[in-house]
Structure 1
Amino acid sequence: MAAGNGDTVRVHYTGTLSDGSVFDSSADGGPIEFVIGGAAVIPGFEHAVVGMEIGQSKTFTIPSAEAYGERDPRLAQDVPRSQLPPELELFLGMRLTASNGDGREIALVVTSLTDEMARLDANHPLAGEDLTFAIELVGIN
Protein backbone atom coordinates (compact mmCIF):
# COMPACT_ATOMS: atom_id res chain seq x y z
CA MET A 1 0.00 0.00 0.00
CA ALA A 2 1.45 3.34 -1.07
CA ALA A 3 0.83 6.62 0.78
CA GLY A 4 -1.57 8.97 -0.98
CA ASN A 5 -3.56 12.16 -0.55
CA GLY A 6 -5.76 12.05 2.57
CA ASP A 7 -3.76 9.28 4.28
CA THR A 8 -2.48 9.78 7.81
CA VAL A 9 1.20 8.84 7.76
CA ARG A 10 3.96 8.42 10.35
CA VAL A 11 7.47 9.36 9.27
CA HIS A 12 10.88 9.29 10.95
CA TYR A 13 13.10 12.06 9.61
CA THR A 14 16.35 13.94 9.94
CA GLY A 15 16.60 17.40 8.39
CA THR A 16 19.99 18.88 7.50
CA LEU A 17 21.24 22.13 6.01
CA SER A 18 23.64 22.38 3.06
CA ASP A 19 26.61 22.41 5.48
CA GLY A 20 25.46 19.04 6.89
CA SER A 21 24.28 20.39 10.25
CA VAL A 22 21.09 18.84 11.64
CA PHE A 23 18.29 21.35 12.21
CA ASP A 24 15.59 18.85 13.28
CA SER A 25 15.10 15.13 13.78
CA SER A 26 12.63 12.62 15.13
CA ALA A 27 15.52 10.49 16.49
CA ASP A 28 14.89 11.50 20.12
CA GLY A 29 11.13 11.00 19.92
CA GLY A 30 8.54 9.20 17.91
CA PRO A 31 7.83 9.71 14.24
CA ILE A 32 5.80 12.71 13.15
CA GLU A 33 2.24 12.05 12.09
CA PHE A 34 0.36 14.14 9.54
CA VAL A 35 -2.35 13.92 6.90
CA ILE A 36 -1.08 14.15 3.33
CA GLY A 37 -2.79 17.21 1.86
CA GLY A 38 -3.50 18.68 5.30
CA ALA A 39 -0.77 21.35 5.05
CA ALA A 40 0.70 20.37 8.44
CA VAL A 41 4.21 20.13 6.95
CA ILE A 42 5.87 22.04 4.12
CA PRO A 43 4.57 20.99 0.69
CA GLY A 44 7.85 19.47 -0.55
CA PHE A 45 7.91 17.14 2.44
CA GLU A 46 4.32 16.03 1.77
CA HIS A 47 5.05 15.45 -1.93
CA ALA A 48 8.07 13.30 -1.11
CA VAL A 49 5.96 10.93 1.01
CA VAL A 50 3.31 10.38 -1.70
CA GLY A 51 3.84 6.98 -3.29
CA MET A 52 6.10 5.64 -0.54
CA GLU A 53 5.38 2.29 1.08
CA ILE A 54 5.85 1.34 4.75
CA GLY A 55 9.53 0.66 5.46
CA GLN A 56 10.73 2.65 2.44
CA SER A 57 13.39 5.34 2.96
CA LYS A 58 14.54 8.22 0.79
CA THR A 59 16.60 11.39 0.89
CA PHE A 60 15.55 14.57 -0.92
CA THR A 61 16.29 18.29 -0.94
CA ILE A 62 13.72 21.07 -0.89
CA PRO A 63 14.98 24.39 -2.32
CA SER A 64 14.54 27.36 0.02
CA ALA A 65 11.91 28.93 -2.25
CA GLU A 66 9.72 25.83 -1.77
CA ALA A 67 10.47 25.49 1.95
CA TYR A 68 10.35 28.63 4.10
CA GLY A 69 11.10 31.10 1.32
CA GLU A 70 13.98 33.48 0.85
CA ARG A 71 15.10 35.82 3.62
CA ASP A 72 13.35 39.19 3.41
CA PRO A 73 15.63 41.98 4.67
CA ARG A 74 12.54 44.12 5.37
CA LEU A 75 11.60 41.70 8.18
CA ALA A 76 14.71 42.59 10.20
CA GLN A 77 14.69 45.93 12.00
CA ASP A 78 16.91 47.78 14.41
CA VAL A 79 14.93 48.80 17.48
CA PRO A 80 16.26 51.23 20.09
CA ARG A 81 16.68 49.36 23.36
CA SER A 82 14.91 52.26 25.05
CA GLN A 83 11.70 51.14 23.26
CA LEU A 84 11.93 47.66 24.79
CA PRO A 85 10.90 46.75 28.35
CA PRO A 86 13.81 47.66 30.66
CA GLU A 87 13.55 44.36 32.58
CA LEU A 88 14.09 42.38 29.35
CA GLU A 89 17.59 40.87 29.45
CA LEU A 90 18.34 40.49 25.76
CA PHE A 91 20.87 38.00 24.34
CA LEU A 92 21.77 36.86 20.82
CA GLY A 93 19.41 34.17 19.56
CA MET A 94 16.70 35.11 22.06
CA ARG A 95 13.19 34.46 20.78
CA LEU A 96 10.51 37.07 21.41
CA THR A 97 6.94 37.64 20.32
CA ALA A 98 5.27 40.90 19.47
CA SER A 99 1.74 41.77 18.43
CA ASN A 100 1.05 43.57 15.20
CA GLY A 101 -1.74 46.08 14.66
CA ASP A 102 -4.45 43.43 14.14
CA GLY A 103 -3.51 41.41 17.25
CA ARG A 104 -1.58 38.62 15.50
CA GLU A 105 1.60 37.49 17.21
CA ILE A 106 4.90 37.75 15.34
CA ALA A 107 7.88 35.56 16.25
CA LEU A 108 11.16 37.50 16.44
CA VAL A 109 14.79 36.54 17.00
CA VAL A 110 17.47 38.87 18.38
CA THR A 111 20.24 38.75 15.74
CA SER A 112 22.55 41.55 16.92
CA LEU A 113 22.93 43.82 19.93
CA THR A 114 24.67 47.04 20.85
CA ASP A 115 24.26 49.16 23.96
CA GLU A 116 21.72 51.29 22.08
CA MET A 117 20.07 48.95 19.53
CA ALA A 118 18.67 45.45 19.12
CA ARG A 119 18.16 43.90 15.67
CA LEU A 120 14.93 41.89 15.68
CA ASP A 121 14.34 39.51 12.78
CA ALA A 122 10.86 38.19 11.88
CA ASN A 123 12.11 35.86 9.10
CA HIS A 124 11.57 32.16 9.74
CA PRO A 125 14.87 30.77 11.13
CA LEU A 126 15.12 28.44 8.09
CA ALA A 127 14.30 31.10 5.48
CA GLY A 128 16.89 31.14 2.72
CA GLU A 129 18.02 27.58 3.46
CA ASP A 130 17.80 24.55 1.18
CA LEU A 131 16.57 21.66 3.37
CA THR A 132 17.64 18.04 2.94
CA PHE A 133 15.58 15.33 4.58
CA ALA A 134 16.31 11.64 5.12
CA ILE A 135 12.95 10.01 5.82
CA GLU A 136 11.48 6.58 6.51
CA LEU A 137 7.77 5.90 6.21
CA VAL A 138 6.77 3.81 9.24
CA GLY A 139 2.98 3.86 9.06
CA ILE A 140 -0.07 4.60 6.93
CA ASN A 141 -3.67 4.82 8.19
Structure 2
Amino acid sequence: MTQISFNSEVVMHFSIKLENGSVADSTHNVGKPAKFNIGDGNLTDNFEECLLGLKQGEIASFTLEPSYAFGVSNPDNVKHMDRSKFVGDIPVDEGTIVSFSGPSGKESIGVIAAVIGESVTVDFNHPLAGQRVIFDVEIISVS
Protein backbone atom coordinates (compact mmCIF):
# COMPACT_ATOMS: atom_id res chain seq x y z
CA MET A 1 0.00 0.00 0.00
CA THR A 2 1.33 3.44 -0.93
CA GLN A 3 2.55 5.70 1.88
CA ILE A 4 2.09 9.44 1.77
CA SER A 5 5.26 11.12 0.55
CA PHE A 6 6.20 14.42 -1.08
CA ASN A 7 4.05 15.00 -4.22
CA SER A 8 1.53 12.29 -3.22
CA GLU A 9 -2.06 12.99 -4.14
CA VAL A 10 -4.07 12.50 -0.97
CA VAL A 11 -7.82 12.29 -0.41
CA MET A 12 -8.73 12.54 3.27
CA HIS A 13 -11.24 13.66 5.81
CA PHE A 14 -9.87 15.94 8.48
CA SER A 15 -10.94 17.94 11.49
CA ILE A 16 -9.07 20.70 13.24
CA LYS A 17 -10.19 20.93 16.86
CA LEU A 18 -9.28 23.13 19.78
CA GLU A 19 -8.34 21.70 23.16
CA ASN A 20 -11.83 22.40 24.50
CA GLY A 21 -13.22 19.99 21.86
CA SER A 22 -14.76 22.63 19.59
CA VAL A 23 -14.27 22.01 15.87
CA ALA A 24 -12.62 24.90 14.00
CA ASP A 25 -12.74 23.24 10.57
CA SER A 26 -13.78 19.86 9.22
CA THR A 27 -14.39 18.20 5.88
CA HIS A 28 -17.20 16.29 7.59
CA ASN A 29 -19.18 19.57 7.73
CA VAL A 30 -19.38 19.62 3.94
CA GLY A 31 -19.70 15.84 3.62
CA LYS A 32 -16.83 15.61 1.16
CA PRO A 33 -13.18 14.74 1.76
CA ALA A 34 -10.34 17.09 0.81
CA LYS A 35 -8.05 16.31 -2.10
CA PHE A 36 -4.59 17.81 -2.46
CA ASN A 37 -0.99 17.09 -3.34
CA ILE A 38 1.63 17.08 -0.60
CA GLY A 39 3.70 20.20 -1.23
CA ASP A 40 1.01 22.13 -3.14
CA GLY A 41 0.66 24.75 -0.41
CA ASN A 42 -2.90 23.92 0.64
CA LEU A 43 -1.67 22.74 4.04
CA THR A 44 1.21 24.16 6.04
CA ASP A 45 4.49 22.25 6.07
CA ASN A 46 3.84 21.20 9.67
CA PHE A 47 0.42 19.74 8.88
CA GLU A 48 1.87 17.92 5.87
CA GLU A 49 4.74 16.56 7.95
CA CYS A 50 2.17 14.84 10.21
CA LEU A 51 0.77 13.00 7.18
CA LEU A 52 4.04 11.66 5.75
CA GLY A 53 4.18 7.87 5.99
CA LEU A 54 0.43 7.36 6.54
CA LYS A 55 -1.40 4.92 4.25
CA GLN A 56 -4.89 4.51 2.84
CA GLY A 57 -7.38 3.59 5.55
CA GLU A 58 -5.29 4.96 8.42
CA ILE A 59 -6.83 7.21 11.05
CA ALA A 60 -4.50 9.41 13.08
CA SER A 61 -4.57 12.33 15.48
CA PHE A 62 -1.83 14.91 16.03
CA THR A 63 -1.63 17.69 18.59
CA LEU A 64 0.24 20.72 17.30
CA GLU A 65 1.61 23.53 19.41
CA PRO A 66 0.72 27.06 18.23
CA SER A 67 4.10 27.66 16.58
CA TYR A 68 3.59 24.50 14.46
CA ALA A 69 -0.06 25.16 13.63
CA PHE A 70 -1.31 28.71 12.97
CA GLY A 71 1.49 30.58 14.72
CA VAL A 72 1.62 32.56 17.90
CA SER A 73 -0.41 35.71 18.28
CA ASN A 74 1.67 38.71 17.24
CA PRO A 75 0.77 41.96 19.03
CA ASP A 76 2.02 43.90 15.97
CA ASN A 77 -0.94 42.41 14.05
CA VAL A 78 -3.45 44.14 16.35
CA LYS A 79 -4.28 47.58 14.94
CA HIS A 80 -6.21 50.49 16.39
CA MET A 81 -8.21 52.28 13.72
CA ASP A 82 -10.57 55.21 13.53
CA ARG A 83 -14.20 54.21 13.13
CA SER A 84 -14.40 56.42 10.01
CA LYS A 85 -12.27 53.81 8.14
CA PHE A 86 -15.29 51.49 8.19
CA VAL A 87 -17.59 52.42 5.34
CA GLY A 88 -20.68 50.84 3.84
CA ASP A 89 -22.84 48.26 5.55
CA ILE A 90 -20.09 46.66 7.66
CA PRO A 91 -21.34 46.34 11.24
CA VAL A 92 -18.68 47.75 13.56
CA ASP A 93 -19.23 45.22 16.35
CA GLU A 94 -16.92 42.97 18.33
CA GLY A 95 -16.45 39.65 16.53
CA THR A 96 -17.21 41.01 13.05
CA ILE A 97 -14.82 39.75 10.37
CA VAL A 98 -13.56 42.57 8.18
CA SER A 99 -11.45 42.75 5.03
CA PHE A 100 -9.11 45.54 4.00
CA SER A 101 -7.02 46.07 0.88
CA GLY A 102 -3.47 47.12 1.65
CA PRO A 103 -1.34 49.51 -0.43
CA SER A 104 -0.13 46.61 -2.58
CA GLY A 105 -3.71 45.45 -3.17
CA LYS A 106 -3.26 42.41 -0.94
CA GLU A 107 -6.34 41.60 1.11
CA SER A 108 -6.02 41.41 4.90
CA ILE A 109 -8.69 39.74 7.00
CA GLY A 110 -9.19 40.77 10.60
CA VAL A 111 -11.62 40.40 13.46
CA ILE A 112 -12.94 43.40 15.37
CA ALA A 113 -11.68 42.81 18.90
CA ALA A 114 -13.01 45.96 20.61
CA VAL A 115 -14.95 49.14 19.91
CA ILE A 116 -14.44 52.07 22.28
CA GLY A 117 -15.98 55.31 21.11
CA GLU A 118 -14.40 56.16 17.75
CA SER A 119 -11.52 53.68 18.24
CA VAL A 120 -11.85 50.21 16.72
CA THR A 121 -9.31 47.49 17.56
CA VAL A 122 -8.83 44.94 14.75
CA ASP A 123 -6.85 41.72 15.22
CA PHE A 124 -5.22 40.62 11.95
CA ASN A 125 -3.71 37.45 13.46
CA HIS A 126 -5.09 34.15 12.16
CA PRO A 127 -8.18 33.36 14.28
CA LEU A 128 -6.44 30.19 15.54
CA ALA A 129 -3.10 31.89 16.27
CA GLY A 130 -1.88 31.05 19.75
CA GLN A 131 -4.06 27.94 19.95
CA ARG A 132 -2.87 24.37 20.38
CA VAL A 133 -4.87 22.34 17.84
CA ILE A 134 -5.73 18.68 17.36
CA PHE A 135 -5.48 17.56 13.74
CA ASP A 136 -7.58 14.39 13.16
CA VAL A 137 -7.26 12.66 9.79
CA GLU A 138 -8.74 9.69 7.97
CA ILE A 139 -6.79 8.82 4.83
CA ILE A 140 -9.18 7.77 2.04
CA SER A 141 -6.65 7.27 -0.75
CA VAL A 142 -2.99 7.90 -1.62
CA SER A 143 -1.58 7.95 -5.15
Tell me the TM-score normalized by structure 1.
0.91
The answer to whether structure 1 residue 123 and structure 2 residue 125 are counterparts is: yes
1:68 matched residue in structure 2: 70
- Superposed counterparts of 1:1-141, under 5 Å: 1-28=2-29, 29-85=31-87, 87-141=89-143
Distance in structure 2 (CA, Å) of the matches to 1:93 and 1:37: 33
Distance in structure 1 (CA, Å) of the matches to 2:9 and 2:89: 45
Partner amino acid for 1:90?
A: V
Distance in structure 1 (CA, Å) of the matches to 2:86 and 2:25: 31
Count of paired positions: 141
**How far is the alpha carbon of 1:88 from its aligned partner?**
3.4
**RMSD of aligned residue pairs (Cα, Å):** 1.5
Please list every run of 5 or more consecutive structure 1 residues that lacks an aligned counterpart in the other structure.
none
Taking a change above 3 Å as real, the CA distance of residues 10 and 103 of structure 1, as seen in their structure-2 partners, is: same
Taking a change above 3 Å as real, the CA distance of residues 60 and 88 of structure 1, as seen in their structure-2 partners, is: closer
Taking a change above 3 Å as real, the CA distance of residues 86 and 103 of structure 1, as seen in their structure-2 partners, is: closer
Map Cα deviations across residues 12-39 of structure 1 (whole Å, 9 max, x no partner): 1121112221111111221111111222
Tell me the TM-score normalized by structure 2.
0.90
